[in-house]
Amino acid sequence: IGNFSNELGNLTFFTTFNISGYLSLISLPKKLGNLTSLNMFDISGCLSLTSLSNILDNFSSLTSLDINEYLSLILLPNELGNLTSLTTFYIKGFSSLILSTNKIGNFTSITTFDINAYSSRKLLLNELSNFTSLTTFNMIIVMFKHKIIAK
């Protein structure tokens, strides 16, 4: 993002922000939190990114979040639970993500929830009953229970 991050504070009118495929992005600029009009945020394919930091606090109008192939992320941030306007959530391609349901339980407006995760822990989805607007739910979970030993 380089010098562009300095200008983010002035771009409060942005409604869509897509930085998918930015392989060398390590952290999100703090000024990204100034995009308070954001409706769609796509950070899929940012393989080096390790945290969503605390920028989600200001995204109260966010309706679509795409964080596919975010391989370094292990835990979803607590701020995710504050995205009560979220209608579409894509979260796929994680190698070790632990999905904590207390972070997604407030998604009462969600209509599309698409998750594909590799996990060695049981995925708890009790909060799905709170998703009263849910019309599309896709979930693929791959559990690795056996070691493969080459002979």
% residues pLDDT > 70 (the chain) = 68
Mean pLDDT confidence for 101-118:
76
Which domains are seen in the chain, by residue range? 4-142 (3.80.10.10)
Return the H-helix or E-strand segment holding 91: strand 88-94
pLDDT digits (tens, 9 = 90+) for 125-135: 566 777 889 89
Mean pLDDT confidence for 79-93:
86
* Cα distances (Å, whole numbers) of residue 77 to 8, 10, 97, 108, 145: 22, 26, 11, 18, 27
Instruction: Estimate to the nearest angstrom the gap between the alpha carbon of 75 and the chain centroid.
Output: 10
Contact by Cβ (8 Å): 62, 89: no
Contact by Cβ (8 Å): 108, 133: yes
